[in-house]
Amino acid sequence: FVEKYGPWALVTGSSAGIGKEFARQLAAQGLNLALVARRDALLRKLATELESTYDIQTRVIPCDLNQENFLEEISSACADLEIGLLVNNAGAPSFHGRFLSRSIAEMEQTLHFSIHVQLHLIRHFAEAMAQRRRGGIVQVSSISGNLSMPFMAEYSASKGYQLQLGESLHYELKDYGIDVIVLSPGATHSERINFGMQPEPVVSAALNNLGRLPSVIPGWRNQWTAFKRRHFNSRRQVVQVMGDFQRGRLQPPHDTID
């Protein structure tokens, strides 16, 4: 794994949840880690733990990906490192509510994280990988990208973009020796979520299938949900079923129309 994707992996959103688990599993594989997130103290704590446990090197890169100059900050901080694996994990939190209750600024922030950030990071780091003729990219999306989700409209649409981009690049970047996979998890335990799958099998699903599959949905329940919605129902039924489900999750003040 190190020979294929090493010596360094860069993981965004690595201070907690799925990103932190990616860092742990990659460290266990022997990769050095560039850790990117906003919270410097959490990153440094994780870096210390991984260095002592797995005898690897780390580089802490505190960065707010919501800033327009995020790429310059990250690329400058790791300019001397050979990044062989990019884990594009950081993203905007999901939002359940009516489309018209959201401001354009809030929607654009979601699109910035899910589209702008991931696209720019892929384009930047894939360039060097292509020159070396080896590398890997893990694109973290969501099961919502496989479905139309009323009351999560711009979020699920942005995750659909991630899925289509990653699956397309899975084919295209093979010409340069770069493996690409899209990970589309359902609900996963994190700081904000206390239900769903544990992060360990979610991350393992991506790393075990990198270089084999264009995309993976971890967990048989999630796989069945996506398959059933896409293949056993018409598009009209998919929208209706998911809309009824999401409507039931609405909370005030987003459950009524003024």
Which one of 4, 54, 155, 176 is the catalytic residue? 155
Cβ-contact 218, 183 below 8 angstroms: yes
Q: How many CB atoms lie within 10 A of CB 51?
A: 15
Q: Is 159 annotated as catalytic?
A: yes
Which one of 4, 45, 159, 174 is the catalytic residue? 159
Q: Is 171 annotated as catalytic?
A: no
Task: Return d(Cα 248, Cα 250) in angstroms, integer.
Answer: 6
Asked if the bond preceding 252 is cis, omega within 30° of 0, the reply is: no
Active-site residues, by number, are 155, 159
